[in-house]
Amino acid sequence: MIEQVQNPALEIHDLTVSYDKKPVLWGIDLSVPKGAIAGIVGPNGAGKSTLIKSVMGLVPLSSGYVKIFDEELNTVRKRVSYVPQRESVDWDFPASVLDVVMMGRYSKVGLMRRLRKADLEAARYALQQVGMEKFEKRQISQLSGGQQQRVFLARALTQQADIYFMDEPFAGVDAATEKAIIQLLKEMASQGKTVIVVHHDLQSVATYFDWIIMLNLRLVASGPTEKAFSQELLEETYGGKLTLLTEVGELMKKGQYPTREKQ
Amino acid sequence: MNDLIIIVTGSLVAICCGILGCFLILRKMAMVSDAISHAVLPGIVIAFMLGSDLDSIWMLVGAGLVGVFTTFLIEFFHRQGKLQTDASIGVTFTWLFAIGVIMVSYYAGDAHIDQDCVLYGEIAYVPIDPIITDSGSVLGPKALIVLSIVLLVILAVILPFYKEFFLTSFDPAYAAAIGISATIWHYLLMSLVSITTVASFESVGAILVVAFLIVPPATAYLITTRLHHMIGLSCVFGILAAILGYYIAYWIDGSIAGAMATVAGLNFGFVFGWTQIKKARPVTSPPISQD
Ligand SMILES: Nc1ncnc2c1ncn2[C@@H]1O[C@H](COP(=O)(O)OP(=O)(O)OP(=O)(O)O)[C@@H](O)[C@H]1O
Ligand SMILES: [Mg+2]
């Protein structure tokens, strides 16, 4: 079940991504409307992080293209924000909470310029939004995992972007904070911002997201949650197909299959 | 006067190294500096053979290029060959260094260059090796002038781009996502490290320069929570090592650079011990509740 929309915030066309010639994402075709809060779900290793990384231009594409607001990433980069998975950095780095949140302002400030008072205020405001204002001077290594996650969220918020890509922003965050943050994201969406979130908890999908992307190496579904979030498609995403697809990936690596077959 | 020149030279090495070393250890690339300090050897010999004087500007430029080349090879074997970083470092620098060793032994006869002078340096000779202009006036000790220029170059690069170096050291993926290429800053840093290594090798040698690059920043890392404090403190530790090291060497009549690096090591030991004692102290007050 793949629903395409007119005038999308994010458009992915015929995307294939491989690591060492082994495809991990395969023929992805989807679009996400503006102002949506979209969830990406799928089992471990389904390629959720890879999908976000390929949208952010962090991994090379084997085929296909990505458009954001109908433009190339480079021309709209200032309107795009990214929350990486928390494990991607070393939290023992000598930096304070505020130092990290201020990084969200770097692209706005530009090369060789110093951060200004307005940037500081934006950073403080973002910290308030995620309930971390009391920790601004603390070294990042002295935070709990959930607090570190909130710092990453605040950093993305200070960018004041129009589209946000978040890789498991709720991992390790307590239930109350998660609710507060979802509330925040919903407010942002109501102002026309688009938020795309990798999410693991299937229980909360229906209440959190109005758009759902189900992924397992290939795209299983992309559409409004009420239509696409069905038992059948969930089984297809998480069910026995996983092993089969991995086998196909292995075969392709050995060069026994053409790069793409019509489904 | 000579004392002062030697101490100032040592301090300049310490400051250049202290600034760059902080970024190196935070990027987990401490051993890349070791690799570069060895890999520049063939470059030094080539510059020497070309008949140009050792202090020529080309030497620094050449060093920068060799550093970039070394960094590139390390990355290349790591990325393309899926070789572990440390293995990749080992392969790259031993090979370049070996070529340098052959070249040094081959040309040892006709030039005043030998393994000892490259590997160990001799800071005591700094005051008696001045730069003399064409008109014959003495500008000052060569190493001192070259190191001052290098320090200015480092400051001219790091100060305006501090936030880019900060971000690409902490989170290169996010940097790339917001359009700040981590690669450029990576190579720029490595060229600065190479230039510093070459500028320091006459005074402290290619091996001990690594001590200045790594030990004071590592010491500062133990007790700081912000990057700019870490940089400042590692310069202070480096200068302390230069001063104390000089007087210890004078007192025992031994290698000055060796004594400086030893003091840096002892310094690390003291600070490490102190942080361990502080950690082991029992908690005296109940935790403050926080949400
Ligand atoms: N750098 C890499 N080199 C080779 N293979 C990789 C690399 N990164 C990821 N993979 C593989 O690509 C596939 C997709 O990985 P990805 O990280 O996108 O999964 P994910 O859906 O984010 O999983 P998780 O839920 O565990 O975060 C996995 O099979 C993984 O083994
Ligand atoms: Mg992932």
Instruction: Give the strand pairing for A163-167 and A22-32.
Output: unpaired
| CA nearest ligand 1 atom 25, residue | A44
Q: Rounded to whole angstroms, how far apart are CA atoms A224 and A7?
A: 16
What pLDDT is recorded for position B204?
A: 79
How many Cα atoms within 13 Å fall on the side-chain side of residue A195? 27
Shortest Cα–Cα distance, A155 to chain B (Å): 10
For ligand 1, what atom is nearest to the CA of residue A46? 21
Distance CA B97, CA B42 (A): 7
pLDDT of residue B38: 85
Q: Dump pLDDT digits (tens) for A197-244.
A: 999 888 889 899 999 999 999 999 999 999 888 888 888 888 754 444
For the CA atoms of B53, B58, B59, B63, what is the dihedral angle to 10 degrees?
A: -170
Compute the mean pLDDT over every residue in chain A, rounded to the nearest whole number. 87
- A163, A80 Cβ separation under 8 angstroms: yes
In chain A, where are the structural domains located? 1-69+163-170+194-255
Nearest-CA neighbor of B25 among B276, B259, B268?
A: B268
Which parts of chain B have pLDDT scores under 70? Answer: 51-57, 108-121, 132-139, 283-291
Q: Is residue B186 within 8 Å of residue B194, measured between CB atoms?
A: no
> Tens digit of pLDDT for each residue in A53-74?
999 999 999 999 999 999 999 9
Contact A57 B291 (CB under 8 A): no
pLDDT at A262: 38
- Quote the CA–CA distance of A127 and A144 in Å, as a whole number: 15
The Cα–Cα gap between A169 and A229 comes to: 21
Comparing A30 with B48, which gets the higher pLDDT?
Answer: A30
Q: What SS3 state is found at B171?
A: coil
Give the pLDDT mean for A14-34.
92
Query: Rounded to an integer, what distance in angstroms lies between the CA atom of residue B101 and that of residue B19?
Result: 29
Q: Which residues surround ligand 2, an ion (CB under 5 A)?
A: A 49
- The angle at the Cα of B117, spanning B112 to B118, to the nearest 5 degrees, equals 105
Domains and CATH numbers, chain B: 2-205 (1.10.3470.10)
Q: Please give the pLDDT value at position A260.
A: 40
Phi, psi of A20 (to 5 degrees): 50, 45
Whether the Cβ atoms of residue A52 and residue A165 lie closer than 8 Å to each other: yes
Closest Cβ opposite residue B226 in set A94, A106, A112: A94
- Is pLDDT larger for residue A256 or for residue A157? A157
Distance CA A33, CA B123 (A): 67
- pLDDT over threshold 50, residue A261: no
- Nearest CA among A129, A135, A130, A131 for reference residue A99: A135
| Nearest CA distance, B111 vs chain A (angstrom) | 45
What is the separation, in whole angstroms, between the first and last Cα of chain A? 13
Q: Which CATH architecture has domain A1-69+163-170+194-255?
A: 3-Layer(aba) Sandwich (3.40)
List helix spans (H) across chain B: 2-26, 30-39, 41-49, 57-81, 85-107, 115-119, 142-158, 162-170, 172-177, 182-223, 227-252, 256-280
pLDDT (average), residues A79-92: 92
Cα separation, B8 vs A254, whole angstroms: 62
Closest CB to B173: pick one of A81, A84, A106: A84
Cβ atoms of B40 and B167 within 8 Å: the answer is no
Pocket test for ligand 1, best of A24, A59, A62 (most atoms within 8 A of CB): A24
Q: Do A106 and B170 touch (CB under 8 A)?
A: no
pLDDT at A242: 42
Contacts of A84 in chain B (CB under 8 A): 171, 173-174, 177
pLDDT score for B111 = 54
What is the complex's ipTM, to 2 decimals?
0.85
Residue A248: per-residue pLDDT: 44
For residues B123 and B259, the answer to whether their CB atoms sit within 8 Å is no
> If you measure CA to CA, which chain A residue comes closest to B22?
A94
Q: What is the 3-state secondary structure (H, E, C) of B68-105?
A: HHHHHHHHHHHHHHCCCHHHHHHHHHHHHHHHHHHHHH
CA of A200 from ligand 2 middle (Å) equals 10
A211 token code pair: 């758009």
Strand order of the β-sheet with A163-167 is: A80-83, A163-167, A194-198, A37-41, A211-216, A218-224
Q: How far apart are CA A203 and CA B21, in angstroms?
A: 48
Contact B177 A139 (CB under 8 A): no
- Give the per-residue pLDDT at B235: 97
Question: pLDDT at position A133, please?
Answer: 92
A93–B contact, CB cutoff 8 A: yes
- Per residue in A109-151, pLDDT (tens digit) is 877 778 889 999 999 999 999 999 999 999 999 999 889 999 9
- pLDDT for position B254: 86
Q: Which residues of B touch A (CB under 8 A)?
A: 26, 28, 160-161, 163-164, 166-167, 169-171, 173-174, 176-180, 221, 224-227, 229-230, 290-291
